[in-house]
Amino acid sequence: MIQTLKKVMLAWLFIISSIINGTAQNQEVTFRSLLQEMGDRTIIAQWPVPEFRSLQASSYNRASVAPDQPGWFADSDGVSWIRDEINGGKKEFVIMEHDGPGCITRMWTPFFYYNFNNRVGPNVKIYLDGNKTPVINENFISLLTGKGTITPPFATYTARAGVCFLPIPFSKSCKITLDDKAFYNIINYRAFDKSAKVETFSKATYLKASSFLTTTAEKLENPQFPDAVWQKTSEKNIKQNDSLVILLPGGNHAIEQLNILIDTSNGLQNLRSTILKMTFDGKQTVWSPLGDFFCSPDTINPFKTRNLNVTKDGKMSCSWIMPYASDAQVTLINLLGHQVSVSVDLKVVNYNWNERSMYFHANWTCIGPLPGNRFYDMNFIAVRGKGVLAGDALTVLSPGIGWWGEGDEKIYIDEKDINRKFPSHFGTGTEDYYGWAGGVVPTGKDLFSRPFGSNVRIGNQSNPSGYNTCLRNRILDGVPFNNRLIFDMEASPGTDIRNHWNLLSYSMVTFWYGMPGAISNRIPQRNQAKQKLISVPEIERMEQMLRDSIFNFNTEKLEKRVRDSVK
């Protein structure tokens, strides 16, 4: 009798769940619903409803057609467009078009146009649903730097560039043009199923949502946290090869905030060789050096974004939502040869775990040093299973000669992209991916922090010599995948580095959410985390060995190791 009742209850739960999911799947996507999603930190931990594909249009060099063809690493990524056409008797250059319902989630462009002294550039026109009159028609640079219709933080200046994150939904189609030949640009957008109900953006919709925009902006810049149902502060002097283990309360819960202080008075190596590990429902999903997780691999780097913050006094805070169904634990491991002192504060909230819930993952990898005279597709991560790419951080150790960030992101989504050997996201440069732009050698003046990301560190104050760190938080521009994800970034140094045979060292952290069973190719790199951080003088000595041909005997072995590391 009891078993029969259980079966009946499960059947009813399945029916109710199906009704709820069906209702959600058919729910209309509106400008306000998208703003609500922007302000709600918990939504990214749920498989999206209605489902969508994350796509990207950019000015990448069209000479890049396949990994096994010439031109795969072609530079000069700023002078390509889809086609030109005549509208209203005038030529326009199409940089993005999509047939079907969708939503623009991110637009980026430099604050200069071809010539570094030209700060005006073309007008952008956004045509929705086949209308001949654009819903937006204004200067592209002004619009994206927050000086036009769309104001900060939804459109903002970063460093020599502007980024716009205001959602622009459409029910039937979208076309974006420039009234002069295209220069560097990236457009990210959602593509919904043809049956999805989407409210088309209008100026009237935007103006009516003024108070809602203000509320969303506040949530982005100062995230709100509900009262914790469980909170614990743990302090420990962790001896070599020992750990601090914190067990979380059982049942449906989520980590709401994670705050950590680490003593670096006995050496900054503590940041690289103290490991943050997290386990949810018996599955290890987080393994990263503490410093790299918080964009501070070699020193404390203050910055503030929506999901990660570091203060000047060294407090490192994470507000990624981390749900679990039954049990979880947070562990700090000391791989150092000496004791390290840490303090951890955890806040946990109730959470309704359901069939759309996903686990938080953070995976670290270290690649290099790589010879700067070759191009490589460095792999951030490869995932099998179902989930959403939610953000990433890149650290590059540069000798400071020339520019290290010419590489384009290449994100392959599901078997379709992998089989056709071409990614859905093909970018225009590393700094472009993280929301800023080149044009000059970067300095400490180019640091910035926005809710959506940060240029956390630029070598020293005068040039990129040393560690450079960039962070991207994906909010509406998260990348869902049903069965596969491959996220590569070109190790593509500038000509000065190539010509001088300089070496570059890379480390990356990928933040993502995965359904139960999703796995990645990233395994804990204990030996790499234990190694002493390479300094600029040390990498310069390695470079000199290479130039003197003492290192050339091992070049073939080195390059094989490089190839193996990025497979």
In this prediction, residue 126 carries a pLDDT of 98
In this prediction, residue 2 carries a pLDDT of 43
Domain count, the chain: 2
* pTM (2 d.p.): 0.92
Q: Give the DSSP per-residue string, 335-389.
A: -SSS-EEEEEEEEEEE----TTB-EEEEEEEEEEEEETTS-EEEEEEEEESSEEE
State CA 451 to chain mean position distance.
12
Q: pLDDT tens digits, residue range 403-457?
A: 888 899 999 999 999 999 999 999 999 999 999 999 888 899 999 999 999 999 9
- Do 290 and 382 sit in the same domain of this protein? yes
Return the ∠ at Cα 145 (arms to 140 and 151), rounded to 5°. 105
- Angle of the 31-39 helix axis to the 210-221 helix axis, nearest 10: 20
Q: What is the mean pLDDT of residues 132-147?
A: 98
- Do 264 and 205 sit in the same domain of this protein? no
Q: Choose the final residue of a domain: 186, 221, 256.
A: 221
Q: What is the mean pLDDT of residues 242-269?
A: 95
- Do 214 and 325 sit in the same domain of this protein? no
Q: Is residue 261 in some structural domain?
A: yes
> What would the two tokens of residue 315 be?
């407090």
In this prediction, residue 566 carries a pLDDT of 40
Q: CB under 8 Å to 466, separation ≥6 — which residues?
A: 397, 398, 400, 459, 460, 536
Q: Is residue 56 in some structural domain?
A: no
In this prediction, residue 170 carries a pLDDT of 98
- Residue 361 belongs to domain spanning: 230-565
In this prediction, residue 557 carries a pLDDT of 55
Does the pLDDT at position 553 exceed 50? Answer: no
- Do 194 and 121 sit in the same domain of this protein? yes
- Do 88 and 175 sit in the same domain of this protein? yes
Least confident of 10-19, 241-250, 310-319, 518-527: 10-19
Q: Give the DSSP per-residue string, 536-552.
A: HHHHHHHHHHHHTTTTG
Q: Is residue 59 in some structural domain?
A: no
- Do 188 and 98 sit in the same domain of this protein? yes
Neighbouring CB atoms inside 10 A of 282's CB total 10
In this prediction, residue 549 carries a pLDDT of 54
- Do 163 and 188 sit in the same domain of this protein? yes
Q: Is residue 71 in some structural domain?
A: no
Q: Choose the final residue of a domain: 221, 244, 261.
A: 221
Q: Answer whether the bond into residue 369 is a cis peptide, omega within 30°.
A: yes
Q: Is residue 117 in some structural domain?
A: yes
Q: Is residue 296 in some structural domain?
A: yes
Give the integer Cα–Cα distance in Å for 57 and 68.
Answer: 22
Q: What is the mean pLDDT of residues 184-196?
A: 97
Half-sphere CA count of 383, side-chain side, radius 13 A: 31
Q: Is residue 552 in some structural domain?
A: yes
Q: Give the DSSP per-residue string, 419-461.
A: HHT--SEE-S-HHHHTT---SS---GGG-EEETTEEEEEESSS
Q: Is residue 2 in some structural domain?
A: no
In this prediction, residue 542 carries a pLDDT of 82
Q: pLDDT tens digits, residue range 294-332?
A: 999 999 999 999 999 999 999 999 999 999 999 999 999
Q: Choose the final residue of a domain: 195, 221, 247.
A: 221
Q: Give the DSSP per-residue string, 285-347.
A: EEEEEHHHHTT-SSS---EE-SSEEE-TT--EEE---EEESS-EEEEEEE-SSS-EEEEEEEE
In this prediction, residue 1 carries a pLDDT of 44
Q: How would residue 22 be classed by pLDDT, with cut points 50, 70 and 90?
A: very low
Does the pLDDT at position 152 exceed 70? Answer: yes
- Do 200 and 246 sit in the same domain of this protein? no
In this prediction, residue 540 carries a pLDDT of 83
- Do 460 and 319 sit in the same domain of this protein? yes
Q: pLDDT tens digits, residue range 348-392?
A: 999 999 999 999 999 999 987 888 777 889 999 999 999 999 999
- Do 106 and 205 sit in the same domain of this protein? yes
Residue 346 maps to which CATH number? 2.60.120.1390
Residue 205 maps to which CATH number? 2.60.120
In this prediction, residue 224 carries a pLDDT of 85
In this prediction, residue 5 carries a pLDDT of 42
- Residue 256 sits at φ, ψ, to 5 deg, of -95, -40
**Where do runs of H (alpha helix) occur along 73-148?**
140-144
Q: pLDDT tens digits, residue range 79-113?
A: 999 999 999 899 999 999 999 999 999 999 999 99
Does the pLDDT at position 492 exceed 70? Answer: yes
Q: How would residue 499 be classed by pLDDT, with cut points 50, 70 and 90?
A: low
- Do 199 and 248 sit in the same domain of this protein? no
Give the integer Cα–Cα distance in Å for 320 and 346.
Answer: 12
Q: What is the mean pLDDT of residues 49-68?
A: 97
With 0-12 CB in 10 A as exposed, 13-18 as middle and 19+ as buried, what is 44? buried
Q: Given strand 425-426, what is the order of strands in its sheet?
A: 425-426, 409-413, 484-491, 376-384, 519-520
Q: How would residue 234 be classed by pLDDT, with cut points 50, 70 and 90?
A: very high
In this prediction, residue 17 carries a pLDDT of 42
- Do 205 and 235 sit in the same domain of this protein? no
- Could you identify the residue written with the tokens 């590393």? 430
Give the integer Cα–Cα distance in Å for 256 and 247.
Answer: 15
Q: What is the mean pLDDT of residues 277-288?
A: 98
